[in-house]
Amino acid sequence: MSRFRPDSGLTRRMVLTMFLLGLLYVVFVAVLIAVGARAVVVLVIAAGFLLVQYFFSDKIALYAMGGREVSPQEAPQLHAVIDRLSALADMPKPRVAVADSDVPNAFATGRNQKNAVVCVTTGLLRRLDPPELEGVLAHEMSHVAHRDVAVMTIASFLGVVAGLMTRFALYTGLGRNRDNQGGLPIGLIIVLVSTVVYCVSFVLTRMLSRYRELAADRAGAYLTQRPSALASALTKVTGEISRIPTRDLREAQSFNAFYFAPALNRASVAALFATHPPLEKRLEQLARISGELGREA
């Protein structure tokens, strides 16, 4: 529990997404069994990946991004902001990390509040003023409070399984084997089903990802009571990212779903496949909250 505003819409979407992915997983396994595929090993390996990702997601993310935990002596301003937000939200203080990257961004990871870590890049620290930094960190800490980081980790499981099954079918030559009745090759069936499963799970997780970003914007704005600071940070970060070399952005693109703002978000990419809602939509929501808080005052 925390003082971040509960978001029933986010909760419903997380439950619905997990239910649909679970149903899809059951159908997926049933098809594999029906075609006689020996998928036990692959499923065991995928489950192992899930457990590792779930329990060690914080360490994996920090390692992948080159982040390191910093002490209050090393980053006093950053710790001071997180101390204030933790007290304001009445939640355990997450571990604090910094990644040496010019890409201005931040992310939170960890399966629960006690194992959470909030990481910001040096590029973000250089570009934002204290109120803007507070807005970004409130956004990230709301992800932890709402537990949507853990849900996104679990939701990615089915996509991992589908990808592994496709590789398994291709590399083991299952595509050359036919069932006993001379039907379609087992490998071809596995590849087709895995592709469909991967595509559906991909769309579902991206839909959830976009909503969770809007939910985090709302929760962070209400907690700090300064939606304009978060809007300013969003505008500044988006503008600065557009000036970063594409090569550097591609290296960070795999973390888009966990970043405060997408590292690479071209207009040509269909909104259906985006990890974040459009900047305009996020700013419109923050403007409405600003007006609401002004009326309440």
Which of 134, 140, 213, 240 is flagged as catalytic?
Answer: 140
Pick from 238, 213, 217: which is nearest to 138 by CA? 217
Cα–Cα distances (Å) from 265 to 104, 125, 140, 240, 296, in that order, read 14, 22, 19, 13, 36
Beta bridge partners of 96: 118
CA distances (Å), origin 264, targets 13, 103, 138, 259, 295 = 25, 11, 23, 11, 37
CB–CB of 213/276 below 8 Å? Answer: yes
Instruction: For residue 140, indicate whether it is catalytic.
Output: yes
Three-state DSSP at 272 gives helix
Paired with 259 in beta bridges are: 107
> What end-to-end distance do the CA atoms of the chain give, in Å?
26
DSSP track, 194-220: HHHHHHHHHHHHHHHHHHHHHHHHHHH
Q: How many CB atoms neighbour CB 291 within 10 A?
A: 11
**Which positions are catalytic?**
140
